[in-house]
Structure 1
Amino acid sequence: MKIRILIFLQFLYFPLFAQEGNIYQYLKQKWSKEFSSAKDITTTYHDNIKRMDKKNIPLAIQNNCFMILKSGEYITQNKGEKEDIKSLLRQIPTIELNDPTVAAFLQQNSPGQWTDYYYMIQALKKGETFDAARDGISISTQFFARPLNHNDYTKLKDIFSSNNKLLHDTYLEKMKFLFQTNGCPEEIAELRPTIESHVEDSPLKQEILKLYTQYEPLSKGQSAPLSSMKDTNGKNYSFADFRGKVIIVDVWATWCCSCIEKMPKFMQLKDEFKQYKDILFLTISIDRKSDQDKWLKAIKENNMTGMLNLISAPSANSHFETEYQINGVPRYFIIDKEGKIVTVFAPGPGKEMKALIQNTLKQ
């Protein structure tokens, strides 16, 4: 009789007697199905708890990790709109990123995706909207890109302050894209001491520190580099020629479809500020010298003749694309009356850009 009871208990509490790898595989199998509701997720979570030894803390943490992973998937797939998500959020456990079991879990799962879900869930629990809570750091085809916000910066600060090397490497890699698309705003600059002191030295870390050096001269308040440019008549210009005016710049190229598509909005924004005498809207093309005929033709075809149109004119001492770290177009600049950078990574023509221009004119 005792033997039969022992066999039954071994079957019921299989995870207690398995090796660590088997425990993980057991949980992975339990969490591998598609979940159609929050109730389905929470039922799986609590069923696993019932089958565990309460003293097996690593197993409980792994179950928590799977709960976060599947909850994050469910919330994201439904864009935070399903009513049962509120009840799901109340049952998602807290977890410690520095825990060795969490680090081991991330080694076997997508660390970036899991971490994005983890921070999204924390923000949602605080009452943030789904769009504000979801990740804004990574490129995604699932959602439109949005500006980085306080949730994204909090996530980066927490990660680089942690002891999780895997997450350090994962998010250092993401920092490359952040520099290219956002430059080095104050919030990114504030991460540098944490990266220097908490992240283990590596070629990737040195690459990111080098990017800090490259992009910091383009930060808010820095003097705008005086690159050489020419107008349609071949006259030379630099931003020094426009001192005393707020300068709004659209950096584009004739081969850039998105640039052409957004140009009418830029010209419309220019018209909205036509009553101001201390503002100048202009375009700068990065077309090569051999393509200047295409540039002149595109200006006429797109009705851009009502504003100053310039083209980059590299010289021995000046190269616009290098000095402004132009890795893609369109790009938009706002430079104040004193020739200081407000931003050279401005949002596209629209409400956000208009607000930035209005604030700059008031200064």
Structure 2
Amino acid sequence: MNKICSYGVLICFIQSFNIYGQDINTILDAYSTKKVDYLEKTWCHEGYWGEAKEKKDNRFNEAILIYSLKENFDNDYYKLRIRKAIFFSIRHLQDSITGGFYENNRPNHVRTSLFLNAIATVISKHPEIYENLEVQSSIHRAVKFISTPQEFSSNHNLAALMSLSKLHEVTCDNVFADLLKEYREVIIKDFIFDQDYKSGYWPEAPKRWKNRLNVPYLLVQLMFVQQYLQTNKKEDEKIDKLYKAQLRKLSSLVNYKNFTLDVRQSYGKFKNKDIKFIKFSVPSIFFNSSMIDRIPLDNRKEFLLKCLERFDNDIKKYPALLNSDLYYRFLIINK
């Protein structure tokens, strides 16, 4: 049995600064509370939220991460929800052959990493959960599923880096440490610098492609690196340097007046539809870097509220986003 070596308290909200009398914590606390209230209405006593069972989609049970942030140590209410959801996912939403967790009835690399990160976060508060042999077996089968770094899908690799780091932090199991090292080497090697060597990006396309920049994925990648650096910043200056280089790249592509992202350099469907800018709805990137200074003080509250509004609109189209993206888009902090 592995000894739990870190209890790690996960701080819930973005670093506070005042905007028109309301700080970021206050706004996001109210917003996340409202979202959890809504999630409560979608809870099924069998152990899942929303359409997880119907669609065989474990994204809905990634809500355990949100619940772990709201949990009160003196109240078992959220803890019982979380435990029940973990076991439902293990028994019904994890592929028995590959060990991957499902997205729309198919084992998925990113979803597996994100659920592992969520479970590890729960273990940091309740280390006894990892003592359960069924949970241990599930985690190790899932880690085996993500054991091979992807050839060019950097968001997959960064999600794995994040989850493996958290798993090692809370369990001290060298199996996770060894694989973490392998992913880290690939991630550092794959980074593409611009000519100035001050900015750059992680690619999301094969090496044979002339253009390997998928601009929207910069946001996805940075959310995962942001979480990783929360506990590894001092120990991993190399990744921190690359993170900042990609932030510079992203910063150059943001319109700070209307909060949109320039995709004219991006490969993908944008050129076919003559789309030049897309909506921005990931404020966690900004509130953890000097990029916030680029947003005029008078526009900061508008920026945050606009992002919340856009996320609400996205949820209407894709309900699983509420369960899976709320933390990564809004509630990450760096220390």
Instruction: Return the structure number with greater relative CO, CA threshold 8 A, min gap 6.
Output: 2
Q: Normalization by structure 2: what TM-score?
A: 0.28
Q: Which has the larger radius of gyration?
A: 1
